[in-house]
Chains A and B, each alone.
Chain A
Amino acid sequence: MAAIFSAAVALIILVGWFAEVPGLTSLGAFGPPMAASTAFMTLLTCVALWSRPASVAGRSRWIVNSCALAVSAIAVLALVYKAGGTEVDLDRMVPHISKPWHAAPQTAFAFLLLASAMLSGNRRFRGVRPGDLFALGALAIATVALIGYVFDVPVLYGKAPELPHVGMSVPAAFVVLALGLGYLVSDIEHSLVAILVAADAGGVAARRLFAGAIAFPPGAALLLLGPRLGWYSYSFGEATVLLLAIAEGSILIMSTATRLSRADRALRASEAHVRLLVDQASDPIFIADSDARFIDVNDAACTLTGLTRDALLEKRIFDIVSPEDVPRLEDARARLRAGASVVEERSMRRIDGTYVPVEINAKILPDGRWQAIARDITERKRNDAALARAAETERSLRAELEALMAAVSHTIGELPHSDVEAVLRTIAEQARILTSAKYAAAAIGTDPNKPFDRWVDIGMSDAERAAIGPHPRPVGVLGHAAQTGTAFWISSIAEYPDAGGRPPGLPPFSNLLAVPIKHRDRVIGTLYLADKQNASEFSENDARIVTRLADRVAAALETATLYADEGRLRAWLQTIIDQLPDGVIVIDEHAQVKAMNRAVREMSLPHANETDPWGNPTVFDVRDSEQRPVPADDLPIIHALRTGETVRRGDLFLGQADGRMLPIEAVAGPVRDDLGRITGAVVVVTDVSERRETERLREEWIAVVAHDLRQPLNTILLWADRLASLVKDEKPRAAIERVRRGAWRLNRMIHDLLDAARLQANQLSVEPRAVDAVAIARATIDNAHLTNPEAQIRLTAAEHELVWADEDRIQQVLANLLSNALKYGTPATPVQIEIKNREPMVEISVINEGPELSAEDRERLFSRFSRTAQARSAKIPGIGLGLYICKGLVEAHGGAIRVESGNGTVAFRFTLPRPPED
């Protein structure tokens, strides 16, 4: 703010000089104008002041210093010039300055002070910043000059009659005032006037008194203006000023004193509180002077040392610490001086010569006194020692258990070579060693109504074991731990309430320890120990250590049991899989082979050092129908794993070591866990070479039979035609015509039988392309009219309806349905053919009027050799393959066929796909 104000003033002055506007050079105030050099100094000082807040280091510091040096140089030159020691007049060097207005000596001196203040930085001398003093000096010069102007005392602003120079100008005085204040305020917390902003009582008093001091002179000046203007006499003015001074002084003193007194009371109250706290504090508090002599202690301190307060106040710190702590005390003192607080454990000497362990929290107060709070840590030390002992015991116990667990882990690691019994035996043996027992047993099972699932004992002779019996149960003393879920031990088994029924011949057990084996809070079995060797009974410690053993081994036992169960399951599964005639491969989610049976292994290639892309050592040479290798990702099992779909492929081959191509059928499906996630896949591979051979033979046989049947048919047809052309009589001609028709029907039957055989062997193939269903329907209708010109057939369809179909086969289907409709429909009623768009399919329907089909007929209609009751009773010729073949053909196209019957009509409807988009 001050810098901006001053810079603005300086700039206006300079403009005044350059533009030769006299009014501007003195800012319109009375008195002399501000010299140009003063304006320059102002600007430089402003820059220095502006840069100062960041005056830590580097560039800003550099700017501050150079500006301050420049100001100093100008000021010194001005002073020297005034003293007549040089001819260098700076102002004359400035163009446009005709009249020599030089910087007044006190102005120059004030700027020299300001520059020195800037240069002195933050250095301190005896706690005072010289810079602050320089700034105050400049402020004093400016204030004197201003007061001089206000009270019209020329000597104050430097226009002494005996001095040949003009004084400090009004703008210069304001600028110096502003810059001086600016300097002090810019870093007020650390400056000499910091007290003005202090939050304490001094700050309050300073602010009030300072405000009063500042406010008084302008008031007084105003009052003294009256006589000058002739309003009242000087004596009246002076009297009023005096009264004002007394009044203001009184108010300020009273209010400040009140505030100070209130603060003092609060301070004393607070001190009393602190005193009370100190006295009542449970921890001993010692305060010593810088000479280490106690000056204050509380009651707890007296109790701790065993000395009275007065006696303690005569001691020094060294008197109550142990001799070996004295050198360390010096060390602590050095650290405390550096401002740290010290927390240490020491021994403190009591009056009776004993030492008390204490924790001392010491610091040096701002006034140089020592303050120490001691805390008796005897109890804590005792607890620490006990804890350390407990930890040591724990450690040794843990080490013992670790060793034991290692033994158990080793046994489990040997699984499945070792079994659950071995694990139990290891555990029992370890427990026996831990407790020095003569006998030990480990058992799984808690149901008192049946023997233990597993029982292992150690230390018993065969005779003793025989006396226990082959199947002990968790009842009586053996069932106690399992039923209560807690360890229990007795010094004599005879004391157990239910012990009366013990079978004779039992080992002479005296004492017993039984500990439940728990897994996830569920008792799964019990550890028994009997006849402790080196004591009369088992101790609580024995119970604890065996309980910990039981806790640690429970999970292991569970694992072993599960392992055993799963192992059995796996072995069982492997046996089943191995005995399957089909090959089976099971993989996990990473395509790693998890199981594989003998059958599939025999289909693999014996490459010893090769692996498949997933690192499995068994390699299969899978080929497609054209004997090309199938990419790994297209294998059915991988496809099932990736997509979760069941895949069936009957067109694959497995290359064999002898070069044969083994035809296979592979069915693969995903393996999912309980949450439905895919965790692997399984494939069943069937060698279909025999099936293929059978199919091939059957196909060949059918072809041969069909071929051989057609040859005589050809003879019949040719000769029937020939006979018909030779015979003129009507009767024989009709007979010949029947022969011809019979031959043609026989031909159709052969055709149907061949199709049916192929259908059954899944070998009926169609060759679809985009064809017009409407055109096919028209052609079929035309053909029907050739043999049956009377037939009424109506076609309802759009002009074209493209389908993806084998034209000949669809014509075959349609002809079959149309022929059925004409055969079975009510004579002389029309047959309707409808072709409708049923996205994404096209539906073709053949509808006739006539007897409805029974539900039974509708169900069986599409099966082989099926004929309706009506057909049989009406003796309509046919062998019942037509609809079976229609269904097969429609399905081979990806369509579906169905029959509807009602309201005196029968409708056969089938669908065909539309051609693919591209």
Chain B
Amino acid sequence: MSITNPTTADRLLASLRALLRAEDPNRTYRGIYEYLVGGVASNGSTADATPTDTSLPLPPILRIPLRAGITGATAKLTVGNRCLVAFVNGDPTRPFVIGADPVPQTITEDATQQITVGSVSPGTVVPTVVGAAARVGDQVGPFLVTKGSTKVVIGG
């Protein structure tokens, strides 16, 4: 930060900031930052992303691994997603994508009653569920069942 006419208070604050930084040099890496996905690995496990705010002190990052945060859950990013990047334990060597904007999905059912979520193939496959039916307006997991030309039946 450039100070053209530093007052005594400015100099004291600058000294205080320097002391705080000396005490915690990794302070920048303790935040959560919004990035824009520019590329995704073919298996969806990593993403290339750029900070959405160009004033941030962080660079574009290639091949950032994803952590969905829910045991057993997987997720895929698409180009144009906004995602959240954090650093494990404030460590500049350990960046991860920890979240992303939800992208509108479609649900399709195939002949084997496998439900595929997502308009981009391959999407996330939800295993067949038996013993219940979803009605229009029901919430099935994270998905809202809406009226349309395709009836989605979960179970028999």
To the question of whether A and B form a pair in one complex, the answer is: no
B residues near A, CB below 8 A? none
